[in-house]
Amino acid sequence: QGHRALSEHKTLSVSWSHYLPFVTFTSDPIEGEVSQALSLYKIALIKTNYRNFWHRLLCKLRDKEALENECILVKQEIRCRDVINQSDAHREMLKILISQQPSDIRQRDQFSRLLEPSSTNALYREHSDDK
């Protein structure tokens, strides 16, 4: 019983910098848009543990929370790509923000993938139109 009580009261220690990587005060609307989109996308990445093995396994096992987090991540990725693809200036701002990340964070986040075409977008939009 004591062990169970301990396991139920575990806390997760997370640095806030992981949640709000690009919070800045700016008068540049493009920087603000891209920063906000990246922040929401990063939160979704963190909630799925960067789509690690355990997250993917839980999704295969139809775990409700894992599936909800995966759905949120897909939606945030689509929104982020939509923001970034608005203009060359938006894409350039993404590159600038990526260059400001420490290399270990940049490697884990892989935001540069947002500049590549995605088949996930088309598939998700196809299925979300059915609902």
pLDDT in tens, the chain (131 residues): 444 444 443 333 343 444 445 555 678 899 999 999 999 999 999 999 999 999 999 999 999 999 999 999 999 999 999 999 999 999 999 999 999 999 999 999 999 999 998 765 554 554 444 44
pLDDT on residue 15:
39
Distance from chain centroid for Cα 18: 11
Q: What is d(CA 117, CA 123) in angstroms, rounded to the nearest whole number?
A: 13
Residue 15 token pair: 């640095």
Q: What is d(CA 38, CA 90) in angstroms, rounded to the nearest whole number?
A: 12
37, 85 Cβ separation under 8 angstroms:
no
pLDDT on residue 56:
96
Task: Tell me the whole-structure pTM to 2 decimals.
Answer: 0.72
Q: What is d(CA 112, CA 71) in angstroms, rounded to the nearest whole number?
A: 21
pLDDT on residue 118:
74
